[in-house]
Structure 1
């Protein structure tokens, strides 16, 4: 009988298993699109741009999750009219040179694919976009070997020198493998667009590259017409040709320098209340030991020792927690420095904000604008231990994970790109100059250079007010503006842009009484005055610019 029952029920099992496997295969094969992913480079100080190519089978809503190591980035894409798309999913930067993509459609079906990159963090200097190969890569490499001789190389070549400049630090890229988000381009990268490569860019890629150039990226073009076109978008292009690639070498050398990671702790949070802890420990030792034993013996009930000891221990722990809360608080404390490049011609502002946080309790996720970039200043050891960081680009930018952990000093760097119509106005008055403050914030100090390189200054200028500039120390012979204080707390892009602007005629730099752009991230108690700077170029009204 048992054999009969077993034989009657054994045949459906493999049949059902086969049906299940067939259904799973059909479901996977019925995914709404063909999806592929590329990773052109990685940036441990920024984002890894996963370039996702979507060839749809039908109109659908896709959720794309790109993962590099334990960090992830998410983007929702609407596919309409079955048009192929290429989108960029940005992932918090790591040293990983691979990306895993998990795509899910609105029917609940999923698809997994992976990609990799041969260019790790800071191991690529020049991305050449040259479909017609008008720039001969071998000749360019031979030139760079000589031009960059002796320069220290970051990335995986950090301990070598360019006496034998590696060929893979220069690479060609097809246009379709370039990000369409400005945050996907590292500020240490130089991008060379030949005319053919320039024409092949999409509108989104063009705007992304223009914003990235404003934020410190190195944009090289080959013709004067390209310089004109990119300048209209507010970019800062540099002209170079295959016959004269010297500007390319100069742009690379400028970006080979590592920027300092100057992230001091929030004042008052780097000291532990040692004395209070010692007092509590001594009292605990006295109370739980001799005093507790004396009291139990006096009561004549030694079993009470099993009750009083846990109570005293719990009270001691509560006291330690209370002292820690009283010493460190439960609110957010921070220090802030901000520098803004205000391009009055392009009507754009790029702001770099460095914030050091100390939070009594974890702050949760960060809600930012979709044109913002946020990175954590981490040592190599901290980077390995920080935990999972995620970016959700579905509606603006939401950054989740331990970006600001509790009771730990953590420095974040923000970069903001915004349209901005505010401006300074400088007009000639007699033999000098008059300035009108239209920045929306009071100016504490202003320094401006005229066409002859003479420095002019004013102080304490309210928003909307005007003042006559006075010549600032002609004996100083200023040829460029002084360095920003504490600029090591900002990203490398801030230094690159400020130094480039400072060399130009009519450059100015002003210290403000308040931040020009809203300080991103969680609100908190500013334990020191916010340090706010703005710089740019203001030609006098009579010079035909403003």
Structure 2
């Protein structure tokens, strides 16, 4: 390797800082590439973050770089991620730091990294990667439990948190398998943490020092709060001033404030480790375990379809197909031979057999498209909580897709959306079970949002996903006092069917059928 390449690689590693211990680097021409892999290889839900750093050392020529992994490897009989990729254009002298996220369901199989530079695959030595994978053997004995088993939680600790808190919070679970592997300490300073909430979604809890939280970038603090609002547990140790308007929950104790944030919790611990008691433990214990509960015992495709039908009938018309096969066999064989023999035109079988086959195929395809159409079907049921003061919207729910033909462009979601495909896998117990899965390789690209490009939806097979989403939005429902009344302006970009509002005195105000953009007076309802 030339001295120029070594200098470029050194710069990339400096940019990554202490995280270089978990990074793999390579050079292709005048482009340096570093891929930082997840801190914890074993998690049970959510997305694991890969950080991609691309530096163009050329002073004249821009480059388009695609990084894709795993480079090789396969799995038969189980649905798996065969390609995780991102493409970026880097201008001369430019360095870009990007995120890729690996869902924990389905699993990712394979090793190595592949680099495509300006449309050409590069012949480079195999670059090993530290993949995240679903936890196995992470059950531990829980005293007093009838089943005797509980899933081990995974917490992320910031670099400056007192090590004693790691031990104290770890003893909450009384787990024989508790280890640093499941509770990693971040190597990058909090100031360099990701501004994407998905980067924290794989953790049951995130523990930070108050001073680190204060020094964090605004985008990072926003991402951590969004993580908590989506169902996570954020623990801040030290004297931290919470945002205005936050009120401690009734479960708060002296020295430990608990704040309910949409679907999750934020704890502020204002005490020394030696002052922490079992009563404090019990409250934190329950919330840390609740983070992963929605991802346990995930249904199979059949169970998901029965409880959340995207189309009414996805069964194969066995009787009709059997009848068609019998008629086809009779027509193409005995009847065809009989009539051509009587007409003394047996040579015509050279074209009548292909013709009958073609007509039969067209009949089957015509029946399928007449009964189901060309377009796909979508069903979504979600609950969204919109915080008007912060403009953050948190969504949970389920979405399902069905298509008569395999979608050519796959599915597209935003970078703020976490998806858990329902294929009957148990992410807490089986690392490679493959139960009730399609066995197809899947591809996920992060170049333009979250693109489920291949393998996620097959023709005539429903695809169901659990959805979590946290995003900043401009939509609002604007309330304004007018004398003794209140008016509502619908700025939600959708019609409002029913609206309820409780004022500070407990008075309920209502409205119905409010068109998009309309302003209407609210009516007093029952208290």
Q: TM-score, normalised by structure 1?
A: 0.64
Shift of 1:118: 7.2
Asked whether the equivalents of residues 126 and 189 of structure 1 are also in contact (C-alpha less than 8 Å), the reply is: yes
- Offset, 1:239: 1.5
Are 2:173 and 1:144 aligned?
Answer: yes
CA separation of 1:461/1:299 partners in 2, compared to 1, >3 Å: closer, same or farther?
Answer: closer
Partner residue, 1:76: 88
Structure 2 CA distance for partners of 1:79 and 1:325, relative to 1, 3 Å:
closer
Contact 2:509 2:522 in 1 (8 A): no
Structure 2 unpaired stretches of 5+:
7-25, 71-80, 136-150, 247-260, 426-433
Mean CA deviation greater in 212-221 or 29-38: 29-38
User: 2:183 is matched with which residue: 161, 170, 184?
Assistant: 170
| Structure with the higher helix share, 1 or 2 | 1
Deviation of the 1:346 alpha carbon? 0.2
Counterpart Cα distance in 1 of 2:44 and 2:521: 45
Return the offset for 1:105: 6.0
| Contact 1:192 1:219 (C-alpha < 8 Å) held by counterparts | yes
SS at structure 2 position matched to 1:135: helix
| Aligned-pair Cα RMSD in Å | 4.3
Counterpart residue number, 2:339: 295
Tell whether the 8 Å contact from 1:447 to 1:455 is kept in structure 2 after alignment.
no
- Segments of structure 1 that go 5 or more residues without pairing to the other structure are 1-20, 146-161, 473-546
Is contact 1:62-1:103 (8 Å) kept? no
Determine which of 368, 374, 399 is the counterpart of 1:330: 374
Shift of 1:174: 2.3
Question: Is the aligned partner of 1:256 residue 2:253?
Answer: no
Check whether the contact 2:40–2:183 (CA below 8 A) recurs between aligned residues. no
- Shift in CA distance, 351/239, structure 1 to aligned 2, threshold 3 Å: same
Which of 417, 433, 436 is residue 488 of structure 2 equivalent to? 436
SS in 2 for 1:465: strand
Aligned length: 427
Q: SS at 1:172's partner residue?
A: coil
Structure 1 residues 117 and 469 mapped into 2: Cα distance closer, same or farther (>3 Å)? farther
Aligned residue in 1 for 2:75? none
**In the alignment, structure 1 residue 240 sits paired with structure 2 residue 239:** no
2-side partners of 1:253 and 1:373: how far apart?
A: 19
Equivalent position of 1:47 in the other structure: 47
CA displacement, residues 411-440 of structure 1 (integer Å, 9 cap, x when unaligned): 24553623224125386998xx85625334
Deviations along 1:63-109, whole A, 9 cap, x unmatched?
A: 352425512121426478677x7542224444349874445667977
1:135 maps to which residue? 164
The CA deviation at 1:327 is 1.9
Correspondence for 1:63 among 53, 65, 78: 65
Q: Which residue of 1 aligns with 2:393?
A: 349
Q: CA deviation at 1:345?
A: 0.8
1:209 matches 2:253: no
Distance verdict in 2 for CA 1:45–1:310, change over 3 Å: farther
Cα distance in 2, alignment partners of residues 99 and 347 from structure 1: 41
Shift of 1:387: 1.9
Residues in 2 aligned to 1:326 and 1:48: alpha-carbon distance in whole angstroms: 43
Deviations 1:15-39 (A, max 9, x none): xxxxxx99xx999586543625222
Give TM-score scaled by structure 2 length: 0.66
Query: Which one has a bigger Cα radius of gyration?
Result: 1
Would you say the 8 A contact 2:311–2:402 is kept in 1? no
Counterpart position of 1:482 = none
CA contact (8 A) 2:48 2:199 kept: yes
Partners of 1:110 and 1:309 lie apart in 2 by 50
Q: Secondary structure at the match of 2:228?
A: helix
C-alpha deviation, 1:355, in angstroms: 2.8
The aligned runs of 1:81-160 (5 Å cut-off) are 87-93=98-104, 94-96=106-108, 100-103=112-115, 113-116=127-130, 120-121=134-135, 124-131=153-160, 133-145=162-174
2:514 is the alignment partner of 1:462: yes
8 Å contact from structure 1 (residues 377, 412) kept in 2: yes
Higher relative contact order (CA 8 A, sep 6+): 2
Alpha-carbon displacement from aligned partner over 1:268-294 (angstroms, at most 9, x marks no partner): 342434454344234324433443343
Counterpart of 2:141 in structure 1 is: none
